[in-house]
Every structure is written in C-alpha cells, then in structure tokens.
Chains A and B, each alone.
Chain A
Amino acid sequence: RKEVEQDPGPFNVPEGATVAFNCTYSNSASQSFFWYRQDCRKEPKLLMSVYSSGNEDGRFTAQLNRASQYISLLIRDSKLSDSATYLCVGGNTGGFKTIFGAGTRLFVKA
C-alpha cells in the first residue's frame, strides 16, 4: 500500500460546480499536510497547508481527519483556471522526508 494515495481522476466538472478530493495516508504519526497545485509540466506550487481545525481560503477548503487518516480539498464555484493536478503531501513524521500523492487531475469545462 502506498503511504499517500489519491484518486488520479480525471475529474471533469462544469464551471461553477463544487468538487472534492480526498487523500489518504497510512502513517498515523504523520505531522504535516499540504495541498499543492501543479499545472502541466510546471513546478508544484503550494495551494494550502492543512491544519487540524480545517482551514479555508476563498473558494478552497482543506480538512484533516486524523481518525480516518485522510485529508480533503473542497473547491467551490469551479473556474476554468482551476484545471490542474492537485497533489497532497502527507507522511511527514518529523524531519524532512516528504511523501507526495501521485496527484488528482481536474478539468473544469465551460
């Protein structure tokens, strides 16, 4: 089993839709979690850090469920510009070894 798993998609949604991604992690000692966005063949860029209490940034909401060992990303009112691959990061047990999920591909269509 992979340490961090994501549904690869693709998710095809119309503009204005709400879409949610989950990411599961296997190491219960994991300490930090992030969502990154990656456009085709470009470098990943931080979208959101994921805090235990959950956090929201505009149309984006991230949550952490430690009991079930998953993190989620909710995108409301999808825009064409949200089309990208979304990578979750988990599995950090302290220190700097970093485990990325393989990514979830999102296509938002007009």
Chain B
Amino acid sequence: EAQVTQNPRYLITVTGKKLTVTCSQNMNHEYMSWYRQDPGLGLRQIYYSMNVEVTDKGDVPEGYKVSRKEKRNFPLILESPSPNQTSLYFCASSLGPAQGTSRPYEQYFGPGTRLTVT
C-alpha cells in the first residue's frame, strides 16, 4: 500500500529535550516536506526537500532541522523543543515537477504527529 508513515503519532516531552519525528514514504517520491498545523493558522511549511541531500526552508524553519540522506526518509529534528512548538505536525511527499515544467504534483500526507512540549 502506498503511504507516508510518521512516528511517533503522539509525543509529550519537556522543554529542551531533543527529539526526532521520523517520516518515511514508499512511493519513490522525490519531494518531501514538513508542516505544522495550528488553530487559525492552517498548515505552515517548515522545511522541504527536492531530493536526497537537497533541502530548503519553508515559512517557519526556526527551531527545526531536517536531513535527507535517503530518498524514502525525511526526519524532523527539534534540538531544543520549546512550548511554542506544541503543534500537529504533518509530513508529505510528492513526485517531482512534471517534465518541462516547475509545477509540483499533489502531495500525500502522513497521519500526523501530535507534539506537546511542557
């Protein structure tokens, strides 16, 4: 089954304790992305990756790190979590742009990770 998986699905942690949220896709997609979703603000892009070893900042990258060492995996790292990073996090993947264009395809989302930082 084609899917995007995230782990853990729920996490409660304390301020300053490093954590990693994993994301994996089995569709051989080039593009992967992380979003956070907060009430009234919608989905905001944190980081995205166009392919292995190629990443770039989205709209809200502060406090987060990512890496893309393998095509299928795109972990999100919070080196020193703070309470304002309490949120619902989604990972997404899609194919690269259609040949001859720069228009991206639709994205497939993971089930989400609900993170609480106290």
Note all chain B residues with C-beta closer than 8 A to A44: 43, 90, 109
Complex contacts, B40 vs chain A, CB 8 Å:
8, 102
Number of B residues contacting the other chain (C-beta, 8 Å)? 28
| In the assembled complex, A94 has its CB within 8 A of some CB on chain B | yes
Is B74 an interface position by the 8 A CB rule?
no
Q: In the complex, how many angstroms separate the beta carbon of B66 from the nearest chain A beta carbon?
A: 13
Cβ-neighbour of B103 out of A41, A92, A97, A102 (below 8 A): A92
Q: Assuming the A-B contacts A31-B103, A32-B104, A103-B42, are A96 and B50 also in contact, with contact meaning beta carbons closer than 8 angstroms in the complex?
A: yes
- Chain B residues near A96 (CB-CB < 8 A): 31, 33, 48, 50, 56, 104
Given contacts A44-B109, A97-B45, A98-B48, contact A92 B90 (CB under 8 A): no
Q: Does B112 contact A (CB under 8 A)?
A: yes
* B111 shortest CB reach to chain A, Å: 6
Q: Mark A71-110, 1 if CB is under 8 A from B, else 0.
A: 0000000000000000100001011111111110000000
A11 interfacial contact with B, CB 8 Å: no
Told that A41-B112, A95-B50, A98-B33 touch, could you supply 19 new A-B pairs with CB distance under 8 A?
A8-B40, A41-B88, A42-B111, A43-B90, A43-B109, A43-B110, A46-B107, A95-B104, A96-B33, A96-B50, A96-B56, A97-B45, A97-B48, A98-B45, A98-B58, A100-B42, A100-B43, A102-B42, A103-B42
20 contacting pairs across A/B (C-beta < 8 A)? A32-B104, A41-B88, A43-B90, A43-B111, A43-B112, A44-B43, A44-B109, A46-B106, A46-B107, A46-B108, A92-B103, A94-B97, A95-B50, A96-B48, A97-B48, A97-B59, A98-B33, A99-B45, A99-B59, A100-B44
